[in-house]
Structure 1
Amino acid sequence: MSNKHTILLMEDEEESGEMLANFLELNDFNVLWAKDGKKALEHIEENANEIHLAILDIMVPYHDGKEVCSIIRQHPVIYDIPVLFLTARDEEKDEIEGLELGADDYIKKPASLNLVKAHVETQLRRRSPEKSNWIQYGKVYLDIDSSEMYINDELVDLTHTEYTIAEMIFQNPKLVYSRQQILEKISDEDKYVFDRTVDVHVKNLRLKMGEEGKLIKTYRGVGYGFNKEYLHA
């Protein structure tokens, strides 16, 4: 899997879109280029787990930039990605409306490629601070350094395998892991794990978490992951 950031670019002008997409790719970004709102929504549907930032032109066919921005902000996976409006429109009310819809930045055309790149990098830095040594969701804290879980400031007595599963799920709350993926992660700690052993570990983890066990969800036919109902909590 690539470590590059992936950008959703919605631009209906062929020359401008191709130039910006090529420039960003030359600067080590992956680009999903959509020439209209319909294609942008297809990219979101097919690649939501990979999209880190969106650059949206306002005036495009089918679904304009404002509509797509609203859809992104309501999406269960990419609701919190940076959204930049790139547009030729120069009316203040359009800029205000875009920011009220949840856009993070507003770049007026014509803008140099380097200026767009600078805005993109600034937004990504703001959303990707230096990695903390702990993770928090509501009342639950995971201390990465000590491999410990706390709920309401009380230490939860987890086995190393249970903690490993919890950290795996909490560090990547947008992903759903198959039993096989979890097995591969915990195999070093438990030499004789089997497919259903994962279910036992997850069950015990949830029991020890008490009411907060609701944060770990069973996705039938897939595996286990963070309960996305609580992502905003």
Structure 2
Amino acid sequence: MHPKHTILLVEDEKEPADMLANFLEMEDYDVLVAYDGKEAVSLIENRADVIDLAILDIMVPFIDGKEICKRIRRHPVLSGIPVIFLTARDKEKDEIEGLELGADDYIPKPASLKLVKAHVESLLRRQQPQHSKWIQYGDLYLDTVGKDLYRKEERIDLTSTEYALAELFFKNPKMVFSRQQILEHIGDDDKFVFDRTVDVHVKNLRLKMGDSSNVIKTYRGLGYGLNRDIYQP
């Protein structure tokens, strides 16, 4: 039995989409279904931390499969996942263009459910685990291996202290840290630091987070932590 994987399926024809999704779920996959490009982009933005593979129809409303593939390849979390184009368009130029966009496979419709499953399994067997290094809250993604923070597709340029703060909060979403606890986490033995140093670092981190700055909450009389009113761990 394969480990549990989540597949993003983008298909505007509801009956075939539901049939494929139900089949894959019976084969022990989790499936996120989008019936148009806008739904697909929303899932990419909000569920990127769980998606392991994408199956995209090219001709879907609002945002087509080619643009969705481009967004996946630009995304900090999803850039390396396998992408399959499943489409009725079987012209050679479309296949070449899809592969040039970064797709890993191209299956013309109609295709049997078992054939799609075989392609999915083949790609996932070659795939390295993608998500263990990522922690997501809202549209913020913390890369715990590369020591980077992203907002949507943009890397946020952090100092080492600001990253240490972000990592502390993201890895401990249920905790509120006092200034003293934060000082002990970010403190440098060679420097003399003050309580207000924490306030300055938190302020700078929030500024760099832009519209997502409310992910960090000030708990009066206690300290700082993730805003549990907005992002449920």
Interval containing the TM-score (normalised by the shorter chain): 0.5 to 0.7
Instruction: Write out aligned runs for 1:30-41 (5 A).
Output: 30-41=30-41
Distance, in Å, in 2 between the alignment partners of 1:48 and 1:87 is 23
SS of the counterpart of 2:53? Answer: strand
Taking structure 2 as the reference length, what is the TM-score of the superposition? 0.61
1:40 corresponds to which letter in structure 2? Answer: A
Q: 1:179 aligns with which of 169, 180, 186?
A: 169
Distance of 2:173 and 2:145 partners within structure 1: 17
Partner of 2:231: none
For residue 21 of structure 2, what is the amino acid of its counterpart? A
Amino acid of the structure 2 residue aligned with 1:18: D
Match of 1:200 in 2: 184
* Structure 2 residue aligned with 1:169: 144
**Structure 1: distance between partners of 2:5 and 2:188:** 36
Q: Distance in 2 between matches of 1:174 and 1:120?
A: 30
**TM-score under structure 1 normalisation?**
0.61
* Cα distance in 1 between the residues matched to 2:38 and 2:32: 13
Match of 2:99 in 1: 99
CA distance in 1, matches of 2:105, 2:205: 36
CA distance in 2, matches of 1:171, 1:30: 28
- 1:7 aligns to what? 7
Gaps of at least 5 residues in structure 2 are 134-142, 151-165, 192-203, 207-214, 217-224, 227-233
CA contact (8 A) 1:24 1:30 kept: yes
Number of equivalences: 167
How far, CA to CA, are the matches of 2:123 and 2:58 in structure 1? 19
Distance 2:147 2:21 in 1: 28
The residue number in structure 1 matching 2:89 is: 89
Do the aligned partners of 1:12 and 1:60 also contact (CA within 8 Å) in 2?
yes
- 1:75 matched to which residue of 2? 75
Q: Does the aligned pair in 2 maintain the 1:84–1:106 contact within 8 Å?
A: yes
Q: Note if contact 1:49-1:174 (Cα within 8 Å) is conserved in structure 2.
A: no
Q: Flag the 1:122–1:61 CA change in 2: closer, same or farther, 3 A.
A: same
Describe the shift of the 1:174–1:90 C-alpha distance in structure 2 as closer, same or farther (beyond 3 A).
farther
Q: Secondary structure at the match of 1:50?
A: coil
- Identity across aligned pairs (percent)? 55
Q: C-alpha separation between the residues in 2 aligned to 1:30 and 1:77?
A: 18
Report deviation, 1:70.
0.7
